[in-house]
């Protein structure tokens, strides 16, 4: 197979063995969920229910009032017990707490929406928006916004990200093995929305069974090409994936649409298919629970709003005291200081390190080896951006294109001096963006 790739990148250990062969199990029904009204990039939703209301599965409980936002729905049937600001994986957010009644009643609005052939692109886009679908690779950008490029941006290609290049995570891998048809169906629906006739599904070559599975599922659709990608991190990053598949480069400061491409995750496509075929909005997702700090690593289908602590308990609990809890993968995931927070649409993984694994090395002086420059997939000079950030010289950091950093963490991974490169570059980006907002 002719493998596609990009320049730069690193080769962290995969650590996927613990769960890659385990089928997805349906998690236990939660007794109580806390559903955040903001689970995505963009504006928070406004609650449509009040304390004491009875709700059903799939019922819309939060309305999106802005374009860059998506509605949220109840993942259980039961009674609304509380609406309050609570801790979530991304900070304090208003949440709707629902006590499940165990009846699992499905809301009357949940019914099949038709078929791709009979629906217009606009109708499919409205279904995606109303179903609250967001990017499920972790970024959680509203999918209907991605599929609504400005008229002057000509899109001719959609790419589905099946790389799952983050170590440890196997949720997308299992989805591609266990329900590949839903991915292809969802991709065809998205192609109709933006009226394109060419699509790629990119998968790293450390998942040959997934490549075979997706090739079989897409037989009969010559407009869809399943391509093998060289196993390398961050192969699943948007700009790197676009280059690998099309050899097009997204310009500095630009978006994928500037290269005529829209990128989505395979799980997002599957959610689109489910929304069309069954009418069920995005209320559950596959999550990999893994790491040496977990007794029984698994891939679970979890309800949005289930507490992380309860999910871990379904995997035998912690293997000793947890050293670090990360939602997502080890390279781009978010560390959490507590497990008493709810899962969201973006909870692709729960990774638990032991205290020994979590211990941070002592950073040493930069030796100017240039390894961070050699491997940077965005062609930046991380050592200089970091150095200026640490001196609070954000304007100079901006001149070194700090905002083009995709925050993949490859520079921190490769640095022999264990410098806090990614952390300091993130600080620079936030300071630069904050200053730009103030001057608007």
In CATH, what number is assigned to the domain containing residue 333? 3.10.20.600
Q: In terms of domains, do 72 and 208 share one?
A: no
Q: Does 384 reside within a domain? A: yes
* 139 within some domain: yes
Instruction: Examine residue 110 and state whether it is found in any structural domain, yes or no.
Output: no
pLDDT in tens, 182-213: 999 999 999 999 999 999 999 999 999 999 99
> Does residue 219 carry a pLDDT above 70?
yes
What is the mean pLDDT of the segment spanning 54-59?
98
What contacts 24+ positions apart, CB below 8 Å, involve 354-361? 354/291, 354/292, 354/293, 354/319, 354/320, 354/322, 354/323, 355/320, 355/321, 355/322, 355/323, 356/323, 357/291, 357/292, 357/293, 357/323, 357/324, 358/323, 358/324, 359/323, 361/418
Is 360 a member of any domain? no
Query: Annotation-wise, does 405 bind a ligand?
Result: yes
Q: Other CB atoms closer than 10 Å to residue 418's CB: what's the count?
A: 13
Is 1 a member of any domain?
no
In a domain, 140, yes or no: yes
Check whether residue 135 and residue 272 sit in a common domain.
yes
* Boundary-marking domain end, from 76, 100, 124: 100
Tell me, yes or no, whether 296 and 183 share the same domain: no
Domain boundary among 215, 243, 278: 278
215 Ramachandran zone, left/alpha/beta (phi>0; psi -120 to 50): alpha
State residue 22's pLDDT score: 97
* pLDDT score of 78 more than 90: yes
- Mean pLDDT, rounded, of the chain: 95
Whether 365 is covered by a domain: the verdict is no
> How far is the CA of 335 from the CAs of 165, 325, 430, in angstroms?
19, 6, 18
pLDDT band at 432 (very low <50, low <70, confident <90, very high): very high
Residue 347 lies in a domain: yes
* 411 carries a ligand binding annotation: yes
In the prediction, which pLDDT does 437 show? 85
Domain carrying residue 328: 285-353
Query: Is pLDDT above 70 for 1?
Result: no
For residue 343, pLDDT over 70 is answered with: yes
403 and 297, same domain (yes or no): no
213 and 306, same domain (yes or no): no
Read off the pLDDT of residues 112-136 as tens digits, 9 standing for 90 and up. 999 999 999 999 999 999 999 999 9
CA angle, 244 then 330 then 421, to 5°: 80
372 annotated to a ligand binding site:
yes
* 342 and 238 fall within a common domain: no
Q: What is the pLDDT of residues 347-403, one digit of tens each?
A: 999 999 999 999 988 999 999 999 999 999 999 999 999 999 999 999 999 999 999
What pTM, to 2 d.p., does this model score?
A: 0.94
For the CA atoms of the chain, what is the radius of gyration?
Answer: 21
Q: Are 175 and 203 in contact (CB under 8 A)?
A: no
For residue 376, say whether it is annotated as part of any ligand binding site: yes
389 and 427 part of one domain: yes
Q: Rounded to 10 degrees, what is the CA torsion of 10, 429, 422, 352?
A: -100
Q: How many domains, in total, are found in the chain?
A: 4
Consult the annotation and say whether 45 binds a ligand.
no
Do 169 and 292 lie in one domain? The reply is no
Is residue 295 domain-shared with residue 348, that is, in the same domain? yes
| 315 labeled part of a ligand binding site | no
- Confidence (pLDDT) at 5: 85
The CATH number of residue 134's host domain is 3.40.50.11540
pLDDT at position 440 over 90: no
95 assigned to a ligand binding site? no
Shared domain for 292 and 385, answered yes or no, is no
Straight-line distance from the first to the last Cα atom of the chain, in angstroms, rounded to the nearest whole number: 50
Instruction: Indicate if 291 and 409 belong to the same structural domain.
Output: no
> CA-CA distance, 23 to 235, in Å (whole number)?
24
The domain boundary, picked from 246, 278, 310, lies at 278
CATH number, domain containing residue 61: 2.40.50.100
Q: Is residue 262 domain-shared with residue 229, that is, in the same domain?
A: yes
């Amino acid at each position: 197979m002719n493998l596609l790739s990009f320049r730069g990148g690193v080769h962290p250990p995969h650590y996927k063995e613990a769960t890659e062969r385990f089928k997805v199990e349906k998690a236990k029904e939660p007794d109580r969920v806390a559903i955040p009204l903001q689970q995505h990039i963009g504006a928070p939703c406004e609650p449509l229910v009040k304390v004491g209301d009875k709700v059903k599965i799939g019922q819309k409980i939060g309305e999106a009032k802005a374009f860059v936002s998506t509605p949220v729905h109840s993942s259980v049937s039961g009674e609304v017990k509380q609406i309050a600001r609570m801790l979530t994986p991304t900070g304090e957010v208003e949440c709707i707490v629902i006590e499940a009644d165990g009846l699992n009643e499905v809301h009357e609005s949940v019914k099949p929406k038709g078929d791709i052939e009979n629906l217009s692109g606009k109708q499919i886009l409205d279904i995606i928006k109303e179903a609250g679908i967001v990017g499920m690779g972790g970024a959680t950008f509203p999918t209907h916004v991605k599929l609504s490029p400005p008229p002057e941006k000509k899109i001719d290609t959609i790419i589905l990200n099946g790389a799952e290049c983050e170590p440890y995570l196997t949720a997308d891998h299992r989805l591609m093995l266990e329900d590949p048809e839903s991915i292809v169906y969802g991709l065809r629906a998205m192609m109709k929305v933006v009226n394109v006739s060419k699509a790629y599904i990119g998968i790293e070559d450390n998942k040959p069974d997934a490549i075979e599975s997706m090739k079989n599922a897409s037989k009969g659709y010559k407009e869809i090409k399943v391509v093998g990608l060289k196993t390398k991190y961050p192969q699943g990053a948007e700009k790197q994936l676009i280059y690998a598949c099309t050899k097009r480069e997204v310009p500095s400061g630009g978006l994928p649409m500037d290269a005529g491409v829209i990128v989505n995750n395979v799980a997002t496509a599957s959610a689109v298919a489910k929304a069309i075929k069954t009418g069920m909005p995005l209320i559950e997702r596959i999550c990999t629970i893994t790491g040496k700090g977990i007794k029984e690593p698994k891939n679970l289908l979890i309800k949005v709003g289930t507490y992380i602590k309860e999910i871990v308990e379904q995997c035998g609990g912690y293997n000793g005291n947890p050293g670090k809890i990360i939602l997502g993968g080890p390279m781009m995931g978010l560390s959490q200081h507590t497990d008493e927070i709810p899962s969201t649409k973006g909870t692709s993984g729960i990774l638990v390190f032991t205290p020994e694994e979590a211990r941070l090395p002592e950073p040493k002086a930069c030796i100017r080896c240039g390894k961070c420059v050699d491997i940077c997939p965005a062609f930046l000079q991380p050592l200089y951006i970091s150095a200026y950030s640490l001196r609070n010289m954000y304007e100079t950091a901006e001149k070194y294109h700090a905002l083009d950093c995709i925050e993949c963490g490859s520079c921190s991974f490769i640095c022999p001096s264990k410098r806090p490169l990614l952390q300091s570059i993130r600080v620079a980006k936030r300071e630069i963006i904050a200053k730009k907002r103030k001057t608007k």
